[in-house]
Each structure stands twice: as C-alpha cells, then as structure tokens.
C-alpha cells in the first residue's frame, strides 16, 4: 500500500510539473498571437513602417515562446499513456476524441499558417500574410478549445455510457462534450491569455521607456496591448463568474475547498482574506476553520448561485449529505458514506457480472448489470475507505484562489491607470519611472496569477481524474516507482533548461532590439 501511495504521488508530481511548465507558454501564445494580428492589421491599413517594425518585434517574441510551448505540450499528452494507462483505458474513447481533433485540425492550422506568418514576409502578398497571422491566432485558440473540452469532461463527465463487457466508458453523445462547464473553461482560459499577454507587452514596453529606447514603438504597443489585455481581463472575470456557478453545480466539494468552508449556511459570506487554521479537519466541529478572516456578507451565495439567500454546502455538509434550499428546508442529498457503500456495491456487481458471463448465466448477468448501473454514478467512491479521502487539499486550493483574485484585481487597476495615463497625460508615461517599474515587475506576477488559477481548477478537483468515477489511485499505470522518480527529475531538468533558454533568448532579443534596424528584410 505504501508503494502504491508513493507511485501515485510521484505520478501526480510528474504530471503537475509538466502541466505547470506547459502553462507558462500557452497563455502568452493565445494572447500575443491576437495582439500581433491586430498590429499587422493596423500596419496593412496604414502602411506605416513603424507598425511593420512593431509587428515584427512582437512576432519574434511569439515565435520564441511558441516553439518551447509545443515541446512541453507533446510530453504532457504522452504521459497519459505512460503514467496513466488505467485512466486511458477507462475513458480513452471519450477523452481521446477532442485531443485527436486538436491534433488534426488545430495544430495543422498553427503549423501551416504559422510557418507563413514567421517566414513568409516578402514571399506572399501582404493580405495573404495577414490572413495567415489571423489563422495562426485562431488555430491557437481552437487548439486550446479542444484541449479544454477534454479537461472539462474530466471535471464533468457526460455524453458517455459504461460498456460493461469492455469494462470501459464509450461515447454516446459527442455534442454533450460542449457543456457549459467546457465553454466557460475555454473562454476563461483564452481571455486570461489575453490579459497575461497585455501585461507582458506593457511590461516589455515599459522597459524600453525606462531605457529611453524605441519610445514611439513602446507607446503604440502599450495602447494596443493595454486595450486587448483590459478587454481580456474583464471577459475573464465575467467567465470566471460563470465558472463559479458551474463549480457550485457540478463540483460542490471544490467550491467548499476554495472557501475553506466546512459548515455552510443560507446567505453564506465570502472570505475576502483569511488565514486557515491548520488544525482544522473534516468532521471536527469544535475547531474554528480560520485563525482570522474578513468576509463579504452573503458573498459566496451570490457568487455560486446569484442568490444572496441560497445555502452553500461546506465540506462537512457534503460528507454528511446535508443540503438546504434557499428557505433552509432540507433537500435530498447522498452522504459520502452512502456513496462509498454504493460505489463498492457497483464494483462488486461488476465482478459478479464477469463471473456470470464466464459461466454463461444470462439471468445472473442481467441481475448484476441492473444493480451495477443503479450505483454506477458513485463507482469511484468505492475505492475509498473513508470520506476524508474524497476531500481535496483545502489550504492549497483556498490560498491559490485568493492569489488569483487579488492579483487579478490589481491588474484591473493597473490596466485602467496605464491606459488613462497613456491617453490623458501625453508624455507622462515616458517620464514616470515608478509606473514603468510597476509594469515591469507585474510581468512575473501575471504568471503567478495565471498558474494560481490552474492550481484551483486542478488541485480543487482532487482526488479525481474523472469526477466521481475514477480517483487518481485507480488511474495510474503499473510501473516501477523508481522509473517515475527518474523521469520526473529528467523532465524537471529538461523543462528548466527550456525555460532558461526561452527567457535567455527573449531577454537577448528584447535587450538587443533597436528601432533603427531594417524592417523590410
């Protein structure tokens, strides 16, 4: 058992490592590709050499980032087969479909038109080149769409049925993949990429202003990146609100962990800032969950249900099967003890079906299958011995959510200040060293905000690979722990070198760039 726990932990660490590194590159590609397309559109309309130089500068930054992002993304997909083969067998027919479409359609768009965008200057007509730039940006978003559809399905599995003879899930409704969970996740991720890229452009441009270089290009870039980033951030907040509603509906335990909430109430407050009590455990009604907290009255009920009087279930409420309506009247809910019991029964009926099938007993097969399907919605809970095993890491989820929200609010303020000053006080930005430094320092902070969002989404749904159906302990491959540990450190080294290479190349390009270079070659 200890060996299994070690294998699960190291497999999760390896996948988390790959995902974290990959997400360093993805949002910049999603946003910067659109910013570059907008800049090239301005160039084609104005025929200004200034805008051509500006477009080419940021396009080179995009190319550097794009190349490294592809390498980490490919490894991420391979890990499903190497480290998570039971998962791949259990739901591969469904999960693999959007990934296959992503590879065939979206990646084709990025690779084909990306080559034209990066290398096609003076080889194709300006209009065709602009079309290639826009198609590359669209291809990047389409690629993200299919990957996020697959990820959303893991959080809200739908459109499938369990084939009891194959002992795996098969797709029954392809269109069910496009659930509100998937759509909110896609738009939230893409718009967060716009917001991140806007801060990147503002930060790099501020460095040029600080060094008194390429000032005209820097101001134009701040305006373009600032507007797209502000729009992206506002839309990101809007879709984040939609995501909160979907989490409350489909993953209430994740919502409870995000809030560090154990006992809910009607008109539940939202903790704006707080410090969790590390001694608090599920089922412990005597220990206060917070060492201190500042709350917004009825905030969580409004966030989760858009109803200030709605009951929001906490961790203990969900474990006990306690649920109330807006008037405080109990409604039917299934306790975690009952879910574990029914999950174990579903697994037992699956084994009985297999035995009956081998014996050729059709009556016993039908009886076992009927009992199995009645309890299948709780199949995954059968792998647990206690309800506490189904509770995600509360502290990491709680603090990551607040890091995301607090930094997101800061960036909203920064966008407003930057755009107001760059338009209303001409020449101020070029002299405001304090603002330039704030913008430069904000670049790494934006990545912290972005990564924190993914931590909330992925850590908050633990211990599930597929919500309610397959926990991580049942999804891994039967491989030696030593192999996973070895490859973890290999990947850590390789990814770190790739990151250092990208940052180094990017800094060299930015540091050595001068607007008096030729823009026509």
DSSP for 250-268 reads H-HHHHHHHHT-SS--BT-
pLDDT at 68 over 80: no
- How crowded is the C-beta side of 258, counted as CA atoms within 13 Å? 30
Mean pLDDT calculated for residue range 367-377: 92
pLDDT in tens, 128-170: 999 999 999 998 899 889 989 999 999 999 999 999 888 889 9
* Phi (first) and psi of residue 352, to 5 degrees: -65, -40
Question: Which carries the bigger pLDDT value, residue 260 or residue 99?
Answer: 260
The span from the CA of 291 to the CA of 274, in Å, is 7
Tokens representing 135 are: 């198609």
- pLDDT, tens digit (0-9, with 9 covering 90-100), for 385-397: 999 999 999 999 9
Q: Give pLDDT, residue 517.
A: 46
pLDDT tens, residue by residue, 495-507: 898 888 888 888 8
> Strands (DSSP E) along 213-338, which ranges?
270-276, 290-296
Non-local (6+) Cβ contacts of 38 within 8 A are: 224, 228
pLDDT above 90 for 476: no
221-239 average pLDDT score: 95
Higher pLDDT, 79 or 17: 17
> What's residue 452's pLDDT?
94
- Per the structure block, which two tokens stand in for 141? 């978003």
Within 376-468, residue ranges assigned H as helices are: 394-424, 428-431, 433-459
pLDDT of residue 446: 94
pLDDT of 520 higher than 70: no
Phi, psi of 471 (to 5 degrees): -80, 165
Q: Give the mean pLDDT of 261-282.
A: 90
Q: How far apart are CA 497 and CA 500, in angstroms?
A: 5
Identify which has the larger pLDDT, 427 or 281: 281
pLDDT confidence of residue 237: 94
The reported pLDDT for the residue numbered 143 is: 87
pLDDT band, residue 339 (cuts 50/70/90): very high
The pLDDT assigned to 9 comes to: 87
Q: Residue 36, SS3?
A: helix
pLDDT of residue 516: 44
pLDDT of 81 over the 80 cut: no
The confidence score (pLDDT) of residue 309 equals: 87
Average pLDDT, the chain: 88
Local confidence band at 378 (pLDDT 50, 70, 90 cut-offs): very high
244-271 mean pLDDT: 91
pTM of the model: 0.89
Instruction: Convert the pLDDT of each residue in 428-443 to its tens digit.
Output: 778 888 989 999 999 9
**Above 50 in pLDDT, residue 521?**
no
The end-to-end CA distance of the chain, in Å, is 63
Q: Which two tokens stand for residue 236?
A: 């990101």
pLDDT of res. 1 = 46
Backbone Cα Rg of the chain: 25
Could you report the per-residue pLDDT of 114-132, keeping only the tens digit for each? 888 888 888 889 899 999 9
The arithmetic mean of pLDDT across residues 28-52, rounded, is: 93
Q: How many residues does the chain have?
A: 521
Average pLDDT, integer, range 346-372: 91
* Dihedral sign, Cα of residue 340, residue 341, residue 346, residue 347: positive
Q: Which pLDDT score, from 0 to 100, does residue 328 have?
A: 61
Residue 465's alpha-carbon distances to 16, 21, 43, 77, 147, in angstroms, are 13, 20, 46, 15, 15
Residue 185 to residue 219: CA distance in whole angstroms: 33
Binning pLDDT at 50, 70 and 90, where does residue 329 land?
A: low
């Amino acid at each position: 058992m200890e060996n299994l726990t070690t294998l699960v932990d190291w497999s999760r660490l390896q996948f988390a490592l790959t995902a974290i590194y990959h997400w360093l590159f993805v949002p910049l590609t999603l946003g910067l590709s659109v910013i570059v397309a907008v800049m090239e559109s301005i160039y084609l309309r104005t025929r200004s050499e200034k805008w051509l130089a500006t477009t080419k500068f940021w396009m080179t930054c995009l190319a550097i980032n794009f190349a490294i992002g592809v390498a980490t993304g490919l490894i991420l997909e391979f890990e499903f087969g190497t480290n998570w083969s039971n998962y791949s067998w259990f739901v591969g027919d469904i999960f693999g479909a959007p990934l296959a479409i992503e590879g065939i359609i979206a990646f084709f768009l990025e690779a084909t038109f990306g080559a034209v965008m990066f290398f096609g200057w003076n080889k194709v007509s300006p209009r065709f080149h602009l079309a290639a730039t826009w198609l590359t940006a669209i291809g990047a978003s389409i690629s993200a769409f299919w990957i996020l559809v697959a990820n959303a399905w893991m959080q809200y599995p739908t459109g499938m049925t369990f084939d009891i003879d194959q002992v795996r899930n098969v797709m029954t409704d392809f269109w069910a993949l496009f659930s509100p969970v998937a759509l909110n996740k896609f738009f939230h991720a893409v718009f967060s990429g716009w917001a991140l890229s806007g801060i990147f452009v503002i930060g790099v441009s501020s460095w040029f202003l600080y060094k008194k270089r390429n000032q005209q290009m820097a101001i134009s870039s701040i305006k373009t990146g600032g507007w797209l980033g502000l729009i992206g951030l506002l839309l990101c907040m809007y879709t984040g609100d939609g995501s909160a509603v979907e989490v409350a509906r489909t993953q209430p335990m994740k919502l409870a962990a995000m809030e560090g909430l154990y006992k809910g109430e009607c008109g539940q407050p939202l903790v704006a800032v707080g410090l969790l009590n590390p001694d608090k455990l599920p089922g412990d009604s005597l220990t206060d969950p917070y060492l201190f907290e500042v709350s917004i009255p009825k905030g969580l009920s409004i966030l989760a249900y858009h109803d200030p009087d709605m009951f929001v279930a906490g961790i203990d409420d969900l474990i006990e099967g306690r649920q109330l309506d807006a008037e405080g009247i109990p409604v039917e809910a299934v306790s975690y003890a009952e879910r574990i019991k029914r999950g174990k029964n579903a697994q037992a009926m699956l084994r009985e079906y297999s035995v009956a099938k081998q014996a050729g007993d059709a009556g016993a097969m039908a009886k076992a299958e009927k009992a199995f399907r009645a309890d299948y919605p709780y199949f995954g809970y059968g792998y647990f011995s206690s309800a506490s095993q189904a509770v995600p890491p509360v502290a990491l989820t709680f603090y990551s959510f607040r890091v995301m929200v607090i930094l997101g609010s800061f960036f909203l303020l920064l966008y407003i200040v930057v755009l107001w000053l760059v338009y209303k006080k001409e020449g101020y930005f070029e002299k405001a060293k304090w603002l330039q430094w704030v913008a430069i320092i904000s670049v790494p902070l934006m990545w912290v905000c972005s990564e924190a969002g993914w931590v909330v989404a992925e850590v908050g749904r633990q211990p599930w690979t597929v919500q309610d159906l397959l926990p991580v302990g049942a999804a891994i491959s039967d491989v030696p722990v030593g192999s996973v540990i070895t490859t973890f450190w290999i990947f850590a080294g390789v990814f770190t070198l790739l990151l250092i290479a990208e940052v180094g190349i990017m800094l060299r390009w930015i540091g050595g760039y001068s607007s008096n270079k030729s823009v026509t070659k």
